[in-house]
Amino acid sequence: MINMVVGRVAIVTSFIFFLILHSSEAIIRGGNHLHVGFYSKTCPQAEIIVANAVYRAFNEDQGYAAGLIRLFFHDCFVNGCDASILLDSTPSGEPVEKKSKANGKTLRGLEVIDEIKALLEQECPGIVSCADILSFAAREAVVQSGLPSYRVPAGRRDGLSSRSADVLGNILAPSSPIDDIIQSFTRKGLTIEEMVVLLGAHSIGITHCKFFDYRLYNFSSTNTKDPSMNTEFANFLSWKCPCQGDISLDQKLASDPRTRPIVQRMAFDRITWSRKFARAMIQLGRVDVLTGSKGEIRENCRAVNQ
């Protein structure tokens, strides 16, 4: 009997330690008051409205999926997930984020966010932030691309500023050194694995050359191509994924010793990549968010409230 009691105490103690450990991790990585079901009472149809709008947009143009995910990424990486990338102007008069060369005409999905905001203002005026709309829309873009859905913690508020000058130091060019790219992610509280997984969404919905080109070029000291691949198929892939002379970000990820094992692992396990991608998107959505009384709930995602 004593042994049974001691055993149970040990189990309970271990469980409490487990909870403390994982709660601490949650606080460190995402202590920002976001939670799933944030609008369950104030605007219960919010996520359904977003999902339906993204579904309609995707059926009109499948390019909106990648566009919305990229929009979310570029917003979160510049001063946090505060919908500052959506602003056309601010009271300061400075050029806004969307005017940056890294954004500009390459941004897609802005009109989808506008439509969603208009629908939500009809449903529940002044309740759902543009930052949360963007986060929900990115999730629905992932779903429309054929990946599993995931639950999005919400409660973000919208930022009051947006500066084109802030983009350059946060959105790095693919030609940047791999060390700089890794540091840009770790500064946001994201791991190297999360970085690789997120960058796997460059052209979400199709398989990237980077996930298998190491099997086509310099596979080993004795074989250029992976001998386990069908020869005709390998030659076809070599034609589709030519080995370029300049080193792209994709090639860096596939060759750097810190990232190569992750790329190889994900290349052979799409289910694991999908699961980790969902988790990485959730973590990305926690970067430097505004909550509580910080920021505002914009009436129009393109302008701060008057």
The tens digit of pLDDT for each residue in 83-108 reads 999 999 999 999 999 999 889 888 99
Helix or strand holding residue 69 (H, E):
helix 63-76
**In the prediction, which pLDDT does 155 show?**
98
The CATH code that applies to domain 46-171 is 1.10.520.10
Dist. CA 197–CA 215, nearest whole Å? 19
HSE-CB for 20 with a 13 A CA cutoff: 6
Give the C-alpha separation, 201 to 250, whole Å: 11
**N-term to C-term CA, the chain:** 70
Q: Say if CB 80 and CB 161 are below 8 A apart.
A: no
Enumerate residues 6+ apart whose C-beta is below 8 A from 27: none
Nearest to 136 by CA among 59, 270, 37, 28: 37
The answer to whether 82 is a known ligand-binding residue is: yes
Give the pLDDT score at 213.
58
When pLDDT is cut at 50, 70 and 90, the band that residue 184 belongs to is: very high
Q: Which residues pair with 296 in a beta bridge?
A: 158
Residue 97 labeled ligand binder: yes
Residue 266 pLDDT exceeds 60: yes
Residue type, 27: I
Burial class (CB in 10 A: 0-12, 13-18, 19+), 114: middle
In angstroms, rounded to a whole number, what is the distance separating the alpha carbons of residues 203 and 85?
21
Mean pLDDT estimate for the chain: 83
Is 74 noted as a catalytic residue in this protein? yes
Please check the confidence at residue 218 and state whether its pLDDT lies above 90: no
Residue 20 confidence (pLDDT): 34
Query: Rg (Cα) of the chain, in Å, rounded?
Result: 22
More confident residue, 34 or 175: 34
Instruction: Classify residue 80 as left (phi > 0), alpha (psi -120 to 50) or beta.
Output: left
Does pTM surpass 0.85?
A: no
Assess contact for 139 and 101: CB atoms under 8 A.
no
Q: What is the pLDDT of residues 25-84, one digit of tens each?
A: 333 344 458 999 999 999 999 999 999 999 999 999 998 999 999 999 999 999 999 999
Q: How far is CA 88 from the centre of its chain?
A: 23
Q: Which of 22, 35, 74, 208 is catalytic?
A: 74
Angle 237-243-249 from CA coordinates, rounded to 5° = 105
The residue type found at 294 is K
Domain limits of the chain?
Answer: 46-171, 178-283
Class of domain 178-283: mainly alpha
Residue 205 annotated in ligand binding: no
pLDDT in tens, 114-141: 999 999 999 999 999 999 999 999 999 9
What pLDDT sits at residue 18?
36
111 is in an annotated binding site: no
Give me the amino acid identity at 302: R
* 46-171 and 178-283 in the same fold: no
Question: Do residues 130 and 303 make contact, with C-beta atoms less than 8 angstroms apart?
Answer: no
High-pLDDT (> 90) share of the chain, %: 59
Q: 80 among the known binding-site residues?
A: yes
Q: How far is CA 303 from CA 90, 91, 117, 160, 298, in A?
A: 7, 9, 12, 9, 7
